Amino acid sequence: MYKTMDSVRPPKVAEWMLRRVFPDGGDGTSLGDFEEVFQAMIEERGKFRARAWYWMNLLVSFYSFIVGKMVWSVTMYQNYVRVAFRNFKKYKGYTFINVCGLALGVACCLAIYMYIDYERSYDNYHADLDRIYRVAVRDMDDPDDPGSARIGGPPGLILRQQYPQVEKVAHLLAVHDFVMKRGQKVFYENKRYYADTDIFSILTIPFLKGNPNTALDRPSTVVLTESLAAKYFEDEDPLGQTLQINNRDYEVTGVMEDPVANTHLKADCYISMKLIEDRYPFDEWFLANLYTYVKLRPHADAEALNRRLERFIELHGDEETKADNESHVIYYLQSLADIHLHSHLDGEPEPCTKPEYLMLFGAIGVFILLIACVNFINLSTARSTKRSREVGMRKVIGGHRGQLVRQFMSESLVVTLIAVLIGVLLFERFLPFYRNVTHIPLTAGQLFTFEILMVLFGLVVIIAFVAGLYPSLVLSAFHPIQTLKGTRTRGTKGSGLRKILVVIQFTLSILLTTGTVVVFQQLSFMRNESLGFDKDQKLVIPLRGPVRIDKNYDLIKTAFTQHAGVYGATASSLVPGQQEGRWYAEVVGDEDTEAQVLNFHHVDPDYLSQYGLKLVAGHFFDNQMMTDMEKSYVINMAAVKAFGWASAGEALTKKLSVFQEGDIIGVLDDYHYKGLQFAIEPMAFLWTPNRFDNITLTVDTKNLDHVMPHIRATWTEFFPDHPFDYFFLDESFDQQYRAEDRISKILGGFTFLGIFISCLGLYGLASFTAEQKTKEIGIRKVLGATVPGIIGLLTKEFMKWVLIANIVAWPVAYFAAKEWLQSFAYRMDIHLTIFLISAGLVVGIAMFTVSYQAVKAGLADPVDSIRYE
């Protein structure tokens, strides 16, 4: 190695890069070239300029390197693409199957991706998200208790006053269903929260008008959403104006944007907490009514605070509270972004989504994509015979294997690109439909975000690779001499793998089908199972906001029943399907029987007959025995069991103490007052007129046209100032199954697509086999084979694999179904029939697909087929 005297060397990094790009067979001539000019530059212009020159020229050289390479590879790829398109034209059917299957798969994936992405996006828009939390509470002694999203007042107040790492604390108190009134405009509105004004500095709730820092500082102030403001004030400026909520005047101090869809907290309006500050018991630890949001200071240690919260009662409670905290209640911080998917507590302001469902849908997306990829692999390898000559020819002319792989990979890339394009268009086309089913506010615009483009790009790469790799390896491995000589490498090569793939494909299809059948059956089981009460023909009039009835409820009921179309009426605090209030009930004079949590229903004597409930022992409330009013209890059998009494009769000898002491006068048989997801819990009924919130009318639903005017008129007669509202019990009760309903629809749709894509592939394979066996079938027929025999011959082969798929799929489906059904307290049994139904469905469709080709082949004239080839 020579060494220059002054030994100024070119930049090391630049040399390294140069060596990478122009290796020159490793002899370093390019390095030499650069250095020669470099050294000359040093003489002429100095070191600095020389270095700059080196770098400049290196970069410029890269440019010509890249362009030079591209021109030539593009030329090559142009050829690949041209050949690909020629092939597509030649085999239109197969191309159609491939593109169609993949496009559907891509559309499904996109749909599922957007669904999952939406569910995961909940509340991710809040500023300082990482330091916003909700304080929740959980009972450590009761593993079945999910905990509550709402807590008592003291933790929030103490956090605000004594914990410097907490920047802001805000309480929310939900009061739903209210009447809003301004002038002639009177409507029921839904979601109202009493709130501290700090809520606006914790959560990101953009104000259109008013000052978020002071909006709720005074009592009787309200912040409305944009749409409520528009509804009541139209074009006027609502700021400073007055409107009535439940007959009380409020000043509008702010207008906020409508809540976005992906937040767990959707409020129509916020009312100042100041209004109830003196009246609400903020010092009650165990009155769990307040949503408590906190924002920590930057860099505050949430973990440390969590550890303090766990012992909060111990640290901050008074003696009485500590004594009450027998069951060991702990508080903890919930990250705001986690609430929608990971909270699932009692009293959530919005139903949460189970993350398992997201996983389920993710899995379905992958399944469907796999099914589509399998089509591609199978059809390409099956047709390999067709292209063996081409491969042989290319090899003889001098194409090496790498180039052939590249060629076949580019074919799969082209197919994939086309499929993804069509898939996106397809999804865009069905977006409104999808939006309706899933209730996700998706817009076409969201399809063209950077993220989605990356997903699509990923899909293209993955599909092209997964689907294209195996066929290209198989095809490029053909031996040129054999293929050209005509010793044909039959399509049988790789047929083992093809069969396995078909089995996988149909296993996935059967899994999806079984899943759908199970969900559908469970749904219809829940809809049709006897609930133990009448839910038909029940028209419910809710008494909302300021509307109250008390002792005059009888008068109102009588007025409603004046019409022949109204068969009866009953007043109650709740109707089935609604969440009731719970309270501890102790048995009087019996220290040994443990106090039980009961669900309390306040009903009038007609509740029994109107809802068709069954009395097991004792008697129900009676209009003739006014002494029972507000004093006596009727309980259900579940309560009898909970207290540990031997029989309903024994219960009649007991006295309960809840708000006050009272006899148990009757026992009702259990009925499903909530959906069948839930077990029947112990209940107690009281006859308390001032707690009545609903009037249920049993009406002649066939003659609603005649009945409704009467009901409406009666309402106006008693409550002239309040809007009339009603719903039908069967509809509202079924709302409890909305989540399952949605799942079943989505699952059903995807399953259909999955089977459809599988069958596309099967159709392709079957037609290929029939084509390959044309001659064989011809000879068989000449020798006396019957048409059914031929059809059997062709079908048998495929059916064997579909049946094997069943055997693989059943156990998996069984365990998956069992797992899902666990979330229902009342569930159907998993019968063999479910599997038979889904297997029959899939086998039937597959059979239909294959037999079309089989019949065509079987009926063909042997003369033509023997002449074939």
Partner 1 sequence: MVTRAEELILLAVWRLRDQAYSVQIRNQVMDVTGKFWSFGAVYMPLDRLVKRGLLDSHLADPTPERGGRAKRIYQPTQEGLKALAEIKKIQESAWDGMPELEFGDV
Site of interaction with partner 1 (CB under 8 A) = 1-4, 9-10, 21-22, 24, 27-37, 39-40, 57, 60-65, 68-69
- For residue 46, the SS3 value is coil
Phi, psi of 3 (to 5 degrees): -135, 130
Pairing of strands 661-668, 633-636: parallel
Helix (H) or strand (E) holding 207: strand 207-210
As given in the structure block, the two tokens for residue 763 are 């159709």
831 burial via Cβ count (<10 Å: 0-12, 13-18, 19+): exposed
As given in the structure block, the two tokens for residue 382 are 């099956």
As given in the structure block, the two tokens for residue 64 are 């010509």
Closer to partner 1 by Cβ: residue 77 or 756: 77
Closer to partner 1 by Cβ: residue 28 or 347: 28
CB of 32: closest distance to partner 1 in angstroms? 3
Sequence-distant (≥ 6) Cβ neighbours of residue 820 within 8 angstroms: 515, 518, 519
CB of 868: closest distance to partner 1 in angstroms? 45
Closer to partner 1 by Cβ: residue 40 or 140: 40
As given in the structure block, the two tokens for residue 681 are 């819990």
CB of 11: closest distance to partner 1 in angstroms? 12
CA distances from 165 to 1, 153, 182 (A): 67, 19, 43
Residue linked to tokens 């590879």: 73
> Cα–Cα distance between 288 and 520 in angstroms, integer?
37
> Cα–Cα distance between 15 and 326 in angstroms, integer?
75
C-alpha radius of gyration, the chain, whole number: 37
CB of 19: closest distance to partner 1 in angstroms? 11
Residue linked to tokens 């008008």: 209
Closer to partner 1 by Cβ: residue 69 or 796: 69
CB of 73: closest distance to partner 1 in angstroms? 13
> Cα–Cα distance between 68 and 33 in angstroms, integer?
20
Closer to partner 1 by Cβ: residue 57 or 244: 57
Pairing of strands 683-686, 596-602: parallel
> Cα–Cα distance between 253 and 239 in angstroms, integer?
5
Sequence-distant (≥ 6) Cβ neighbours of residue 765 within 8 angstroms: 378, 379, 382, 498, 502, 798
Taking a C-beta distance cutoff of 8 angstroms, is the pair 297, 165 a contact? yes
Closer to partner 1 by Cβ: residue 20 or 551: 20
Closer to partner 1 by Cβ: residue 66 or 127: 66
Phi, psi of 207 (to 5 degrees): -95, 135
> Cα–Cα distance between 843 and 848 in angstroms, integer?
8
Closer to partner 1 by Cβ: residue 70 or 461: 70
Closer to partner 1 by Cβ: residue 32 or 458: 32
CB of 33: closest distance to partner 1 in angstroms? 5
Closer to partner 1 by Cβ: residue 62 or 465: 62
CB of 26: closest distance to partner 1 in angstroms? 11
Closer to partner 1 by Cβ: residue 22 or 852: 22
Helix (H) or strand (E) holding 341: helix 339-342
Closer to partner 1 by Cβ: residue 35 or 428: 35
Closer to partner 1 by Cβ: residue 1 or 646: 1
> Cα–Cα distance between 550 and 545 in angstroms, integer?
14
Closer to partner 1 by Cβ: residue 62 or 719: 62
> Cα–Cα distance between 256 and 205 in angstroms, integer?
7
Phi, psi of 385 (to 5 degrees): -55, -45
CB of 10: closest distance to partner 1 in angstroms? 7
Helix (H) or strand (E) holding 104: helix 92-120
CB of 78: closest distance to partner 1 in angstroms? 17
As given in the structure block, the two tokens for residue 422 are 């069509």
> Cα–Cα distance between 851 and 858 in angstroms, integer?
10
Of 228, 215, 229, 230, nearest to 271 (Cα)?
A: 215
Handedness of CA 184, 189, 195, 197 (dihedral sign): negative
CB of 865: closest distance to partner 1 in angstroms? 50
Closer to partner 1 by Cβ: residue 22 or 286: 22
CB of 56: closest distance to partner 1 in angstroms? 9
Where helices occur in 121-222 by DSSP H, the ranges are 154-162, 199-202
CB of 99: closest distance to partner 1 in angstroms? 37
Question: In the chain, what is the straight-line distance between the N-terminal and C-terminal CA atoms, in Å?
Answer: 69
CB of 55: closest distance to partner 1 in angstroms? 12
CB of 7: closest distance to partner 1 in angstroms? 10
CB of 52: closest distance to partner 1 in angstroms? 15
- Looking at residue 695, what DSSP letter applies? E
CB of 41: closest distance to partner 1 in angstroms? 11
444 burial via Cβ count (<10 Å: 0-12, 13-18, 19+): exposed
Taking the mean position of all CA atoms in its chain, how far away is CA 579?
24
Closer to partner 1 by Cβ: residue 32 or 788: 32
